[in-house]
Amino acid sequence: MKIPYNKVHVQGQILFAARGGAIHTFRLSDGSHISSWKHPDVDKVADSIEAINETKSEAAPAVEADAPATESDGPPAKRQKLDGDTASPSVSLEAETSTPTTTQGDKPRSSGHFDGRGKKGKSKAGKDGDNGKARFARVPDRPVITHLTSTPNGSHLLAITGHDKAVWVFEHDGNGQLKELSRRHEFPSYRRPSAVVVGPDSQMICADKFGDVYALPLLIPSDGSTSSASLSSLQPPTKKPFKPTANTLTVHSKGNRLALLNQIKQAELASESKDAGSSGGPGFELNLLLGHVSMLTALVLGEQQGRRYILSADRDEHIRVSRYIPHAHIIENFCFGHKEFINDMVISPTRQGILVSGGGDECVFVWDWLAGKQLFKASVLSLAQELAPEATAVAVSGLYTLLYPSDDGLLTYILAICEDIKAVFSWKLNQDNELCCPGIIRLPGKPLSLAISPNSDAAPTVIAAIDPGAETKAQSLHAFRPAMNNGRLAAGVETSFNDAAVEARESDVSEDEIRSLLYTVESLRKVATGAQDEEASSEVPQGNVDSDVAVDAGDGEE
């Protein structure tokens, strides 16, 4: 089967759709394909697999001639290893095309050793070609774009690729044509970016899975990579050196003082790296803004009473409200109430003070985020059980806002998708900041991402990137205009995209590989070590930042 689209983003009348390591653009007016961009590693993976398959097919007759087939004979199994917290597997394919290995006494001589990480190394007894043995190279990690966003005016597109821990910046001409400008991967300790947003001052605010948030310029000057005109339109002509407004004599809490010292230290390291030239460190300005003690999962920017804020959420159920640059070390508030990981957050476009968050809990939460006050929560699990009665938990993989025109003005709806559930759940955000009129829109596949294309005088268009699965022939891009029935959203007129030629160029992948690449939200759920930990967890007061009594399963890198 083909790898499905996993991220979609709309800007104006252009749809950006990520499929594995490629970005495709489509016209929303007629669904026609415009252009494509591929990660350099896409072809490397395809070439490696093709070379391995060709060599194995050529070697197969020789193996059959030298030794009769037995029940135990067969092609070597594909081994997959998840690199820490990455969702993209490292695949190693090796084969031997010789006669069965000779033995010494009753013990077979090993043709290699395992290095403790699931990879088979070379044996000391021989090299490639010894005893008629042919060894094949390791297949590179398959690239997957994990995030897509753009600047408010659509002039630039940002993408994150997980396997190489890079942030890509593209110039967009407004008509679907992309030009690659930069690839940022020199983050401290090669940390993996987990979220990115564009600030109003042409800064990228980027969170990583170690719990830190950095600011870096959207564009960096380099020979031939960026025109002076585009730079001047997005960046100040001169960049002042970082200088914190506060100082060591200012009255601070212990945490704020530590954050200030970290900022000063980061500025000193950046200055030393600049003086040292290209000997090490990133080749662009990188400012540490704030940090969590857990993996960061979501990041949004908010504005209230003329002041901007950074809202960050983590795996440890915390939502932190910090001031924007240059006072990001000041914590304004926390939103406590989640008991499981948080995976996504959205701010209401009509009421900037209202935040909706969701993740591993049974409900989605509504907050007055500046005050840190929980206003309402609505059950997701009860809706999911109408489709899957056996479900005992849900993992919200995405939250979105939709404005629906009506006689009373624009109505605000919150949309949610959950991992492994073939539906979009919706609620109306009423004047009391409560979620009402719950609705279920069934889809022909499992949704991986949504994008909303607004319409001034009609219902907006919802574009869903879905995993149709091997058993259906549905398209991976599913678009529809929802209808409203007694305040609830329901499925409406469907539209399609002309991506048959795009899909034909995609290589085939297994269903297991698709799950390991694209289904990563449920793995954020913590696993208690036993009854004692569960009892201890129930005694910890809600909102204690330092109370981590559960074990992070499979999260060694963080």
Distance CA 206, CA 219 (A): 14
Q: What is the 3-state secondary structure (H, E, C) of 433-447?
A: CCEEEEEEEECCCEE
What does the alpha-carbon distance between residue 215 and residue 206 come to, in Å, rounded to a whole number? Answer: 6
State the first-to-last Cα distance of the chain, in angstroms, to the nearest integer: 33
Q: What whole-number distance in Å separates Cα of residue 556 and Cα of residue 558?
A: 6
Q: Are 550 and 527 in contact (CB under 8 A)?
A: yes
Instruction: Output the six-digit token pair for 29.
Output: 């007016």
Task: Please report the pLDDT score of residue 492 as a whole number.
Answer: 86
Angle at alpha carbon of residue 20, lines to 17 and 22, rounded to 5°? 60
Strand partners, 453: 461
Tell me which long-range contacts 546-549 makes (C-beta under 8 A, separation of at least 24).
Answer: 546/293, 548/293, 548/294, 548/316
- What is the four-CA torsion angle of 105, 110, 116, 122, rounded to 10 degrees? 150
Whole-number Å distance between alpha carbons of 220 and 36: 24
CB atoms within 10 A of CB 75: 9
How far apart (Å, rounded) are the C-alpha atoms in residues 305 and 371? 13
**Tokens found for residue 94:** 């090796």
How far apart CA 98 and CA 430 sit, in angstroms, is: 71
pLDDT at 549: 33
Helix (H) or strand (E) holding 373: strand 373-379
User: ∠555-91-86 over CA atoms, to 5°?
Assistant: 25
Q: What is the pLDDT of residue 266?
A: 73
Report the distance separating Cα 423 and Cα 419, nearest Å.
10
**Whole-number pLDDT of residue 188:** 58
Whether 395 contacts 525, CB under 8 Å: yes
> pLDDT at position 368, please?
97
Residue pair 287/203 in contact by the 8 Å Cβ criterion: no
Of the candidates 501, 425, 417, 500, the residue with the CA atom closest to the CA atom of residue 465 = 417
Rounded CA-CA distance 50/137 in Å is 12
What integer pLDDT is reported at residue 53 of this predicted model? Answer: 74
Q: Per the structure block, which two tokens stand in for 379?
A: 């059950």
The mean pLDDT values, 10 residues at a time, for the chain of 558 residues are 94 94 94 94 82 72 50 46 42 39 40 41 43 49 92 94 91 95 71 90 89 89 43 40 66 77 73 49 72 93 95 96 94 96 96 96 97 96 95 96 91 96 96 96 95 89 92 88 92 87 86 92 84 46 37 40
Please give the distance of CA 544 from its chain centroid, rounded to a whole number.
27
Rounded Cα distance, 421 and 418, in Å: 6
Looking at the whole model, is its pTM more than 0.85? Answer: no
